[in-house]
Amino acid sequence: MKLNSTVALTLILLAMMLGAGFVSAMWGFTVGHEALKGVTQPDVRPTKKLVNNQQASDNEGVAILREKDILTNVHAYINGKSDDSQTDNTQTIDNKDEQASQSTQPETEEGQSPSEVFTTETSFTSTSSNLNLPLKTEDRGVSLEVRSSTLQGGSLLLNVRLKNEGSDAVRFLYSFLNVTDDKGRALSAITEGLPGELPANGEEFSGTVSIPTALLDDAKQLSLTLTDYPEQKLKLKMSEIPVAR
């Protein structure tokens, strides 16, 4: 009786496994079939490819031009190009004559040409912007002096001088140079010609501080702050540096 029960249980389990496998197979087949709907196999028959190529070659005929037409087109192209060259030359001569006539400038009532008046006004503006220069600051025997402020090549150039009359040499890291305008905005500056270490022999070193004019906007005055590195014991601070216009 016990043996019959075991056999029956085994058969039931086997039937359940077969049923589950069949159901899984059918479900997988159905999912795959739905996923591949609309996918067709490309036609790779060589005979059809040859037929298509022959039809395409038959449609693309070679156009044969007559010799007379070719010579006519070449002759027309050469004559047209010659006419264009003559037109360009005529326009160039007219432009040169117009520029020559404009180069003659009438004199003003004072006997000066407009260019001379403009030069005089420009030089006056540059001079007026440097009226309160040079400026000088000093700390612990080290002095910083701004000699002039000029515009050149899209940059404001400050001509500066450094001198150390103290007892010890001083080192500077000019990336720590702080430049601000009269509105408190920080500006980037590039130094050239100034030494990284300033010897204590009273020798004077000249250099420039370059500031892009695009950053100046409507600023009228600048301020500089420079400290030694790495001790930061001295501070060279200067304000009211005029901006050349």
pLDDT digits (tens, 9 = 90+) for 27-74: 988 888 787 776 666 655 655 555 555 555 554 455 676 777 787 787
Domains and CATH numbers, the chain: 143-242 (2.60.40.10)
User: Residue 70: in which H helix or E strand, if any?
Assistant: helix 67-103
Percent pLDDT > 90 in the chain is 33
C-alpha count within 13 angstroms, C-beta hemisphere, residue 195: 16
Q: What is the pLDDT of residue 7?
A: 81
pLDDT digits (tens, 9 = 90+) for 82-102: 555 555 555 555 555 555 555
pTM, 2 dp: 0.47
The stretch 150-177 carries a mean pLDDT of 91
**Gap between the Cα atoms of 164 and 46, Å rounded:** 92
Q: What radius of gyration, in Å, describes the C-alpha atoms of the chain?
A: 45
Please give the structure tokens belonging to residue 60.
């693309």
